[in-house]
Amino acid sequence: MTNLTAKDLDVLSHVLTAEEMACKKARIYANTLTDAALAQEMERIAASHAQRFAALYSMIGGGKS
């Protein structure tokens, strides 16, 4: 892992928040939509946001014991 500056951590924090919110919203839309194809697409989008969140979170050492 590279050494991250305070500014890097601040930016990552904001991006993590945005990815988390985008994931939650996509899941809400997926559960609300009546069109099955659109709901499935929203689930795919939510999964993409969740993957990006996990990748970014690992950059700051998240999830390590």
pLDDT of residue 48: 98
pLDDT of residue 65: 44
Sign, CA dihedral 49-51-55-57, equals positive
Buried b (16+ CB within 10 A) or exposed e, 13-30: eeebeebbebbeebbebb
pLDDT of residue 64: 57
Q: Spell out the long-range contacts of 10-16 with Cβ–Cβ below 8 A and sequence spacing 24 or more.
A: 12/56, 12/59, 12/60, 15/56, 16/53, 16/56, 16/57
| Gap between the Cα atoms of 8 and 33, Å rounded | 37
Q: pLDDT category, 63, cuts 50, 70, 90? A: low
